[in-house]
Protein backbone atom coordinates (compact mmCIF):
# COMPACT_ATOMS: atom_id res chain seq x y z
CA UNK A 1 0.00 0.00 0.00
CA UNK A 2 1.44 3.36 -1.03
CA UNK A 3 1.87 5.83 1.79
CA UNK A 4 1.08 9.52 2.06
CA UNK A 5 3.13 11.46 -0.46
CA UNK A 6 4.26 15.02 0.16
CA UNK A 7 6.29 17.45 -1.86
CA UNK A 8 8.60 19.22 -1.76
CA UNK A 9 10.71 17.72 1.06
CA UNK A 10 12.54 20.96 1.73
CA UNK A 11 11.87 24.58 0.91
CA UNK A 12 13.76 27.76 1.75
CA UNK A 13 12.08 31.08 1.03
CA UNK A 14 12.44 34.69 2.06
CA UNK A 15 9.89 36.31 4.33
CA UNK A 16 6.92 37.79 2.51
CA UNK A 17 7.25 35.26 -0.30
CA UNK A 18 4.61 32.63 -0.96
CA UNK A 19 4.96 28.86 -0.86
CA UNK A 20 2.74 25.86 -1.56
CA UNK A 21 2.88 22.29 -0.33
CA UNK A 22 1.24 19.29 -1.93
CA UNK A 23 -0.13 16.11 -0.40
CA UNK A 24 -1.50 12.92 -1.90
CA UNK A 25 -3.20 10.80 0.78
CA UNK A 26 -3.61 7.06 0.90
CA UNK A 27 -6.24 5.90 -1.56
CA UNK A 28 -9.64 5.55 0.04
CA UNK A 29 -8.86 7.71 3.07
CA UNK A 30 -11.64 10.22 3.54
CA UNK A 31 -9.92 12.29 6.21
CA UNK A 32 -6.89 14.44 5.47
CA UNK A 33 -4.97 16.56 7.96
CA UNK A 34 -2.34 19.26 7.74
CA UNK A 35 -0.15 19.74 10.79
CA UNK A 36 2.53 22.26 11.61
CA UNK A 37 5.38 20.98 13.79
CA UNK A 38 7.82 23.48 15.20
CA UNK A 39 11.12 22.06 16.41
CA UNK A 40 10.75 20.50 19.85
CA UNK A 41 6.97 20.62 19.87
CA UNK A 42 4.17 18.25 19.03
CA UNK A 43 2.27 18.53 15.75
CA UNK A 44 -0.35 21.26 15.75
CA UNK A 45 -3.45 20.63 13.68
CA UNK A 46 -3.96 23.34 11.08
CA UNK A 47 -6.86 21.96 9.12
CA UNK A 48 -8.84 18.74 8.77
CA UNK A 49 -10.80 17.72 5.69
CA UNK A 50 -13.48 15.07 5.45
CA UNK A 51 -13.59 14.25 1.74
CA UNK A 52 -13.47 17.73 0.19
CA UNK A 53 -15.19 19.56 3.05
CA UNK A 54 -13.44 21.33 5.92
CA UNK A 55 -14.14 19.78 9.32
CA UNK A 56 -11.92 22.00 11.43
CA UNK A 57 -9.69 24.94 10.57
CA UNK A 58 -9.84 26.72 13.91
CA UNK A 59 -6.04 26.92 14.23
CA UNK A 60 -5.32 27.90 10.65
CA UNK A 61 -4.04 31.51 10.38
CA UNK A 62 -6.50 32.38 7.67
CA UNK A 63 -4.98 35.76 6.92
CA UNK A 64 -1.96 34.01 5.40
CA UNK A 65 -2.67 30.28 5.19
CA UNK A 66 -5.10 28.59 2.85
CA UNK A 67 -5.78 24.97 2.00
CA UNK A 68 -7.93 23.08 -0.41
CA UNK A 69 -8.66 19.49 -1.19
CA UNK A 70 -9.59 19.08 -4.81
CA UNK A 71 -12.13 16.37 -5.57
CA UNK A 72 -11.64 14.94 -2.11
CA UNK A 73 -8.21 13.50 -2.92
CA UNK A 74 -5.05 15.63 -3.25
CA UNK A 75 -4.57 18.69 -1.11
CA UNK A 76 -2.47 21.83 -1.20
CA UNK A 77 -1.51 24.12 1.65
CA UNK A 78 -0.39 27.64 0.80
CA UNK A 79 1.27 30.36 2.82
CA UNK A 80 1.17 33.91 1.52
CA UNK A 81 3.01 35.93 2.69
CA UNK A 82 5.38 33.84 4.80
CA UNK A 83 6.75 35.03 8.13
CA UNK A 84 9.87 33.93 9.97
CA UNK A 85 7.74 32.11 12.56
CA UNK A 86 6.29 29.89 9.83
CA UNK A 87 9.57 27.97 9.77
CA UNK A 88 8.51 24.44 10.67
CA UNK A 89 7.84 20.99 9.29
CA UNK A 90 4.46 20.71 7.60
CA UNK A 91 3.02 17.24 7.91
CA UNK A 92 0.18 15.80 5.92
CA UNK A 93 -1.70 12.79 7.23
CA UNK A 94 -4.70 10.78 6.20
CA UNK A 95 -7.00 8.32 7.89
CA UNK A 96 -9.93 6.15 6.93
CA UNK A 97 -12.15 7.95 9.42
CA UNK A 98 -11.72 11.02 11.57
CA UNK A 99 -10.48 9.43 14.77
CA UNK A 100 -8.79 6.25 13.56
CA UNK A 101 -5.06 5.85 13.16
CA UNK A 102 -3.47 8.47 10.97
CA UNK A 103 -0.77 7.77 8.41
CA UNK A 104 1.77 10.52 7.96
CA UNK A 105 3.88 11.68 5.07
CA UNK A 106 7.56 12.55 5.47
CA UNK A 107 6.74 16.21 5.77
CA UNK A 108 8.02 19.40 4.17
CA UNK A 109 10.67 21.30 6.09
CA UNK A 110 10.11 25.01 5.50
CA UNK A 111 12.75 27.57 6.38
CA UNK A 112 11.81 31.22 6.12
CA UNK A 113 14.78 33.58 6.09
Partner 1 sequence: SQQGEEDPQALSIQEGENATMNCSYKTSINNLQWYRQNSGRGLVHLILIRSNEREKHSGRLRVTLDTSKKSSSLLITASRAADTASYFCATPPRGFKTIFGAGTRLFVKA
Taking CB under 8 A as the criterion, which residues in 35-64 touch partner 1?
35, 41-45, 48, 50, 55-56
What residues pair up with 111 in beta bridges, in sequence order?
12
CA distance 53 to 86: 25
Q: Does 76 bind partner 1 (CB under 8 A)?
A: no
Binding residue for partner 1, selected from 69, 86, 107, 110, defined by CB under 8 A: 107
Question: In sequence order, which residues have a C-beta less than 8 Å from that of residue 88 and are 6 or more positions away?
Answer: 36, 37, 38, 39, 109, 110
Is residue 1 part of the contact set for partner 1 (CB under 8 A)? no
Distance between CA atoms of residues 74 and 63, nearest Å:
23
Question: Is residue 22 a contact residue for partner 1 (CB under 8 A)?
Answer: no
Residues that bind partner 1 (CB under 8 A): 33, 35, 41-45, 48, 50, 55-56, 91, 93, 95, 98-107
Amino acid sequence: EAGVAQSPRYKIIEKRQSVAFWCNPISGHATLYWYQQILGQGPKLLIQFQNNGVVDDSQLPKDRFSAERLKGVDSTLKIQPAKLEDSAVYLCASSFEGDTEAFFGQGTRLTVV
